[in-house]
A and B are shown apart, each in its own frame.
Chain A
């Protein structure tokens, strides 16, 4: 698929998906490909987040992330960290980071959501707390920031 120029609407889409993912508002789900997750956006639209492998200048592989919008079976466009780096993406998401770490965080959030790890951990921790008793409960302040 030829690469489209990044429009302000595409950046807005990426910002909205990032915000919805970080705020746990999107139902990401696993696919047959371990490096791809989907989230239905309603109507014929589906968001696709993909982990891809790239090579750096030293020929070492590193993971990168791509966000695509699918309508029906057609991929409308695809954005990666480099394409978003020259835009207001990071600033609009409310981060002083570059776009790549935001996409990496999105991937982590999405994969945890898709595999229902967070839900299970909440349940397991609740069960552990009932065994340990309320005195050992960890304060919210101690929560590791994501």
Chain B
């Protein structure tokens, strides 16, 4: 045995080196995958947080409407529109086709709502117009809640995937 090792130590060392290299490559692959999953989880959490903020802002519009505070309401809509633009460009990889459609529809609805509120600076809204603006708030809140729900469901999937080593990804 000692003689055999003395005569073949170079080959043994090569085999051991090869096995170590293979193990290192596999470990690196797992580490990279774990890092990617962690990055994805953080991004989806950021998307969820942004969607939740937008939803809260839109919901708060009803209070402004109740108090006939049209200008502050316009400011809230402007902020929400900026945030939605940011969401659709920054997190577009995490939005599916329906998500992009819902975000665009929400933006278009808010744009129209803002135009309507501008009219109320110079005249009081009609009863039907008031009903219309409350209805739009409900609609946009529902659109954003749908996307928030989908995003939070993805967080759970990514978290489970990280815990199980990517088997549920």
Residue B39 lies at the interface, judged by CB distance under 8 Å to chain A: no
Which of B100, B103, B112 interacts with A32 by CB under 8 Å?
Answer: B112
Bound form: Cα–Cα A45–B103 in Å: 10
Within 8 A of A (CB), among B71-123: 81, 85, 88, 97-98, 100-105, 107-109, 111-113, 115-117
- Chain B, interface residues (CB within 8 Å), range: 20 to 34
**Known contacts A38-B105, A43-B100, A44-B100, A73 near B112 by CB under 8 Å:** no
Which of B85, B97, B104, B132 interacts with A31 by CB under 8 Å?
Answer: B132
**Known contacts A42-B101, A43-B100, A34 near B108 by CB under 8 Å:** no
Residue pair B108, A33 in contact (C-beta under 8 Å): no
5 other contacts beyond A31-B112, A43-B100, with CB at 8 A cut-off? A30-B135, A38-B112, A40-B104, A43-B104, A44-B101
User: How many chain A residues touch the partner (CB < 8 A)?
Assistant: 20
Residue pair A70, B104 in contact (C-beta under 8 Å): yes
Residue A79 lies at the interface, judged by CB distance under 8 Å to chain B: no
A residues at B contact (CB < 8 Å): 29-34, 36, 38, 40-46, 48, 70-73
Which of A30, A42, A43, A48 interacts with B108 by CB under 8 Å?
Answer: A48
Bound form: Cα–Cα A29–B102 in Å: 13
Overall SS of chain A's interface: strand
Residue pair B107, A36 in contact (C-beta under 8 Å): no
**Known contacts A43-B97, A72-B85, A38 near B107 by CB under 8 Å:** no
Hey, which chain A residues are within 8 Å of B113, CB to CB?
31-32
Query: Across the two chains, which residue of chain A brings its CB closest to B116?
Result: A32
